[in-house]
Chain A
Amino acid sequence: MLEIQSISKSFPGVAALTDVSVDVRPGEIHALLGENGAGKSTLMRIMCGLLKPDSGRMALGGRPLFFEDAHDAIESRISIVHQEIQVVPLASVAENIMLDKLSAFRRGPFLDWRRLEEEARRYMGMVGLTVPCQTAAGTLSAAQKQLASIARALSSGARVLLLDEPTSSLTLHEARTLFALLRRLKAEGVAIVFVSHKLEEVLELCDVVTVLRDGRLIGTRPRQELNRDAIVEMMIGRSMRDAHRGFLPVRGGAPVLEVRKLKSEFFDGLDLALWPGEILGLYGLVGSGRTELARTLIGEYPYSGGEIRVRGERTRIRSVHDALHRYRIGYVSENRKEDGLILGASVTTNIAITIWPKLSGLLPGFLSPRRELEKSREMIARLEIRTPSPAQTVANLSGGNQQKVSIAKWLVAGCDILIIDEPTVGVDVGAKAYIHELIWRMASEEGKSVLLISSDMPEMVALARRILVFKQFRIVAELADLNRAQVANEEVGRRIGACLA
């Protein structure tokens, strides 16, 4: 249906795509995979008219396509749903769905609201969006916004639907709903191109898998011929098995971090203890209270009762400033782009930001740029951060390297309690393995204590040696035996599933 023939595209200094051909057929869900920088986004942007290829041809049902802009693609019934969900927050859901074709609902100089909303409701029904159509789009959940975006694409009569990491901000349940919808659309003959970093969902959902690496086509193969390992091997060019990492030498005695009967806006008597050298996993669905706990521990959210003890000492942490400078607790945020990094600043600034007061130079209050650079180089080497120079702007690094920078700033400050929130969201497979290795080494070799928050089950099983299961702001179960005997991934998953049911 949509044929991509020998497409090439270069940007100054990089060949983003070289001679890539893909054939997307109607009624199939086609996964487009590759590490960050493999060329997936470039290809998607070319398919929906946002970029023009340097060479090569595209055709839809045998008819050649020439896009001047995204509008031409929509005319050809190719629509994209972007990763960053785009809605006009103050406009109604109906308006958002019909945004690109408001002129179709004109009655004289005015809008025919009744007809617009009727039409919008039809597509909302199609995607299973059950809110009133006059709801302001800004008040919807991430999943509902996603559905509204898909409804917008469908209302343009899309025959080819491009989805760029559609599940990255969805909970498991919401993702399921989305998959059911995609299967229905597939049955209706829509061709779907699906980009995702989560191989589990690709294996579950997709019929055909195309893998890109370094801007080249590695292959297009039917799902049945592939398993997880085979896909990873295609993506990174070597095989990589998640071997069991062994056990952590957790030291007994007093816990390094202890929460007793914590009461706050979110929690009603929460208890938790973290021992030195331990990786304690906090598993749960998005919104189950894990991030709220993390942010309470670092003083971002207040608490009204109970106590938090660090190394046996009763604390009163009121800000990250206290957590960092008085208790050596670091927090790697789940949104590195929003609140984990200063994207416009250099690698050095982002790493050394936590230690500026300690880098004093000749005058009090002034820092020594030489020592700052030394520290930055030290962390770049230690975490193998791939950057042309310490002065490079962080925005220009890949997702994996950005994540390393946001971990580095706590390591450089000597934090030995680390709260790490969703460390590998939007990070490619190779960098993900490296970050896992890094977190493991911090605990096993340096004796750091880690609270690991993750919704990625394989990640949780690979790293955590004790898991607390969160549900609706309570801890509903503890898996305490993982550091004694090797438990199979499936078994852990089954047990957690049983706790959440």
Chain B
Amino acid sequence: MTEGGALGPAGVLRSFSRRADASAIAATTVLFLAFSLGTANFLSSFNQFNVWRAASQNVFIALGQAMVVLIGGMNLSLGAIGGLSVVVIGHSMEVLGFPPFLAIGLGLTTGLVCGLLNGFFISRFRLNSFVVTLASSFIFQGLVNGISQGRPYSKIPPSFTLVGKGELLGIPNLLLLVVLALVLVHVAFRYSVVGRQLLATGGNAETARLSGIKTGRMVLLANVLSGLFASLAAVLWVSRMGTAQPATGGDWLIVSFAVTVIGGTALSGGTISAPGFLFAGLLMALIRNGLIMLGVNVYFEQTYLGCIIMLAVMVEYFRTTVTGKARKL
């Protein structure tokens, strides 16, 4: 940073490159321009609507992962919690005939309870989050299959899709929600006592505890938040699709980690970058959408996705080497 705010072009570039989310922002911008120029229909309002909705969905999924990543943990049961919430929502409306609001409440409660369970085992018995959430992912997935018997719930009232399919002034509601959520996350982790204590716990749990922070509670809270974001993503998923598919959540794990890491939240914990999520979420959506637009064989989609994630990580590596500020991944 130079004094007086008068930054030359080089200065702007330098201070930009120091941002943890710089590569996500740069890569997303480049890809967006490339697809705009390279394909005819990419910029059509229909396509844009879908891309941004998918991006928003990715962000909510990633926030579920980020809540535990920032305390240095992980949640392998994220997708299973999402799937279970979807099934609970579908089941309560189609089979039990509950109104949408009650279904949403039950869906969110599902996420909360699942997160509470994960957090309880991790914090009370000081177990590794990898092991605990690996085990619980099987438990939750089993419930998904058992309750739904593998069949989708399609009798979702049209009112349920107002949020997921609707728009305001041409902007998808989902995107508005995501922006709101990210602003809240940003403010919470910068200015709230609990947010700062969560980050401190992720930065160094021993130090945090020896500084008077109840780190056990922080671990519990992070896992509850993780479960809540997973079920929130599930509610929006049903709202966007208009059906409740038990298969929902199958690819959430990879998406959640990819968006979190590309967005500039270190896997070692202690940091979070709210704007990074939006760009990284969009990046993932763009890749999927762009590949279809370009007429690439969709069966290979994951390979391209993997290559681009790898590329993003490499860009990140060179960025940190060049700016000389190594970030722990």
Contact = CB atoms under 8 A, between A and B. Distances in A.
Contact of A319 (B207, B214, B324, B328): B214
B208 A367 contact: no
Nearest to A360: B193
A354 interface: yes
A22 to B, nearest CB: 29
Contact of A365 (B193, B199, B214, B271): B193
A345 interface: yes
B73 interface: no
Interface string B97-121: 0000000000000000000000000
Contacts of B206: 338-339
Contacts of A367: 191-193, 196
A324 interface: yes
A333 B192 contact: no
Nearest to B211: A353
Nearest to B206: A339
B212 A342 contact: no
A366 B193 contact: yes
Interface in A314-352: 319-321, 323-325, 331, 333, 338-345, 349
B14 interface: no
A462 to B, nearest CB: 26
Contact of A325 (B194, B197, B207, B212): B212
A361 B191 contact: yes
B270 A320 contact: no
B95 interface: no
Most buried by A among B194, B207, B211, B271: B211
Nearest to A319: B214
Interface residues of B, number: 24
A290 interface: no
B210 A321 contact: no
B213 interface: yes
Interface string B168-198: 0000000000000000000000111110110
A340 B209 CA distance: 10
Nearest to B191: A366
B213 A353 contact: yes
A300 B210 CA distance: 8
A409 interface: yes
Given A325-B212, A331-B210, A356-B197, A344 B192 contact: no
Contact of B203 (A324, A345, A354): A345
B196 A321 contact: no
Nearest to B204: A342
A335 B40 CA distance: 61
Given A319-B214, A323-B212, A354-B212, A339 B204 contact: yes
Interface residues of A, number: 32
A321 B218 CA distance: 13
A323 B213 CA distance: 11
Nearest to B193: A356
Nearest to B268: A344
Contacts of A369: 190-191
A340 B191 contact: no
A366 B187 CA distance: 9
B84 interface: no
Interface in B210-264: 210-214
Interface in A347-405: 349, 353-354, 356-357, 359-361, 365-367, 369
B200 interface: yes
B210 A345 contact: no
A118 to B, nearest CB: 39
A240 to B, nearest CB: 32
B71 to A, nearest CB: 12
A62 interface: no
Given A341-B204, A342-B204, A342-B270, A333 B210 contact: yes
Given A321-B213, A323-B212, A341 B193 contact: no
B207 A344 contact: no
Contacts of A356: 193, 196-197
A12 interface: yes
A320 B200 CA distance: 15
A86 to B, nearest CB: 19
A357 B211 CA distance: 12
Given A338-B206, A343-B204, A320 B191 contact: no
A344 B328 contact: yes
A367 B193 CA distance: 6
Given A365-B193, A369-B191, A344 B203 contact: yes
A357 B200 CA distance: 14
Interface string A270-304: 00000000000000000000000000001010000
A143 to B, nearest CB: 24
B61 to A, nearest CB: 26
A320 B197 contact: no
B207 A339 contact: yes
A353 B200 contact: yes
Quick one: which of B192, B196, B214 has the most chain A CB within 10 A?
A: B196
Nearest to A345: B203
A349 B200 contact: yes
Between B190, B191, B206, B214, the greatest number of chain A beta carbons within 10 A of the residue's beta carbon is seen for B191
A300 B207 CA distance: 12
Contacts of B190: 369
Which of B207, B210, B212, B271 gathers most chain A CB within 10 Å? B212
Interface of A: 12, 298, 300, 319-321, 323-325, 331, 333, 338-345, 349, 353-354, 356-357, 359-361, 365-367, 369, 409
Which 9 A-B pairs have CB atoms at the shortest separation, nearest pair first?
A: A339-B206, A342-B203, A324-B212, A342-B204, A321-B212, A353-B211, A356-B193, A320-B212, A366-B191
Given A338-B206, A366-B193, 10 more contacts: A319-B212, A319-B214, A339-B204, A342-B270, A344-B203, A345-B200, A354-B212, A366-B191, A367-B192, A369-B191
